[in-house]
Amino acid sequence: MTVPFQKYHGTGNDFLIIHADEHVPDRGELAERECDRTDGVGADGILFLALEETFDPPRVVMTLVQPDGETAPMCGNGARCAAEWAMDRTGTDSVMIDTQAGTLRADRDGEDVVVEMTDLTFDPDAIPVDADEPVLREEIEGLEVSVVNTGVPHAVSFVDDVDDVALEEVAPPVRHADVFPKGTNVCVASPDGSGGFRQRTYERGVEGETESCGTGAVAIAVTARRLGLTDADPVDVSPPGGDLRVSFNDRGRPTLAGPVEHEFDGEVAVEPPVEP
Ligand SMILES: N[C@@H](CCC[C@H](N)C(=O)O)C(=O)O
């Protein structure tokens, strides 16, 4: 049997979206198979979404299963895609998104979808990273990084030019370093000359570089502000797949803004339910 999916991307970070009510006996197996860019549909993950339309604004329960078959607690671009998917279905311009990292509000703003992100932290225990105090500009596996959790852990390294970094070589040792009990995503960032940054991210769970990473963009912006590298607000962050904007709202929480596109729809094969 097959189940339907919709394919969305946010600045190139792309996802299959499957309604959580669909019969999918093994979500991890499906993600490993269908996220493969050679033999499957190809994506950075599958978002399983449950839509609660009776609330005002509507609520979406979001679960991201990554290409390695594991679940991630939060995804900035995934949340923006989930919001667009839910707004398309409900005709609204605002939704609430329930993630394992907290509940987020998302709003349409012209061509962009803006998500108020979860609380961020530099606290080592909460990231988690094995350290006695916040890790700011310390060398881990040969890379000078700052470590922050923006819903998921990120090690951020500021460099002169992101294009000069051999990310597939330098990122894996940091991603798997013993000091990160749950692993980490690895971002490199270089100044764009206008208070913003260019971004490249090696993602845990994808185990490779992605076209964009929303929690990574927020990690770069908040770390740059903490290190005094920018006082811009908003902070423009440009991964290879497009342009994101990180702002800080009156509740002190970062917001992530950028475009989302619905690419196409399709169906994927799953094992049918076992007859009693
Ligand atoms: N692409 C995402 C982040 C997804 C989770 C990450 N790979 C992890 O395992 O922590 C984003 O846009 O934030």
CATH number of the 138-246 domain:
3.10.310.10
Radius of gyration for the alpha carbons in the chain, expressed in angstroms and rounded:
18
For the chain, percent of residues with pLDDT exceeding 90: 96
* CB-CB contact of 66 with 27 (8 Å): no
* CATH 3.10.310.10 domain range(s) in the chain: 2-117+259-269, 138-246
pLDDT of residue 201: 98
Nearest to 199 by CA among 134, 246, 153: 246
- 11 close to ligand 1 (CB < 6 Angstrom): no
For residues 199-223, b (16+ Cβ closer than 10 Å) or e, as one string? bbbbbbbbbebbbbbbbbbbbbbbb
197's tokens: 């940054």
pLDDT of residue 251: 81
For residues 141-172, b (16+ Cβ closer than 10 Å) or e, as one string? bebebbbbbbbbbbbbbbbeebeebebeebbe
What are the tens digits of pLDDT across the range 15-39? Answer: 999 999 999 999 999 999 999 999 9
Residue 54 has pLDDT above 90, yes or no: yes
- Examine the residue annotation and report whether 75 is marked as an active-site residue of this protein: yes
Averaged pLDDT for residues 249-262: 92
- 211 close to ligand 1 (CB < 6 Angstrom): no
Phi, psi of 147 (to 5 degrees): -120, 130
Residue 204 has pLDDT above 90, yes or no: yes
Q: Which residue has its alpha carbon closest to ligand 1 atom 3?
A: 75
Q: Which residue has its alpha carbon closest to ligand 1 atom 4?
A: 75
Tell the burial category of 102 from Cβ atoms under 10 Å away from its Cβ (0-12, 13-18, 19+). Answer: middle
Residue 150 has pLDDT above 90, yes or no: yes
- Examine the residue annotation and report whether 213 is marked as an active-site residue of this protein: yes
Active-site choice (35, 75, 81, 187): 75
35's tokens: 């996220």
Average model confidence (pLDDT) across the chain: 97
What are the tens digits of pLDDT across the range 107-128? Answer: 999 999 999 999 899 999 999 9
- 67 close to ligand 1 (CB < 6 Angstrom): no
Annotated binding-site residue? 249: no
The ipTM, to two decimals, is 0.98
- 115 close to ligand 1 (CB < 6 Angstrom): no
Distance 273 CA to ligand 1 centre (A): 31
Cβ-proximal residues to 172 (8 Å cutoff; 6+ apart), any chain: 202, 207
* CB-CB contact of 22 with 94 (8 Å): no
Cβ-proximal residues to 223 (8 Å cutoff; 6+ apart), any chain: 136, 146, 148, 156
Averaged pLDDT for residues 211-228: 98
Q: What pTM was computed for the model?
A: 0.97
pLDDT of residue 275: 81
User: Ligand 1, closest atom to CA 214?
Assistant: 12
Active-site choice (35, 81, 187, 213): 213
Identify the three-state secondary structure at position 1. coil
Query: What fold does the segment set 2-117+259-269 form as a domain?
Result: Diaminopimelate Epimerase; Chain A, domain 1 (3.10.310)
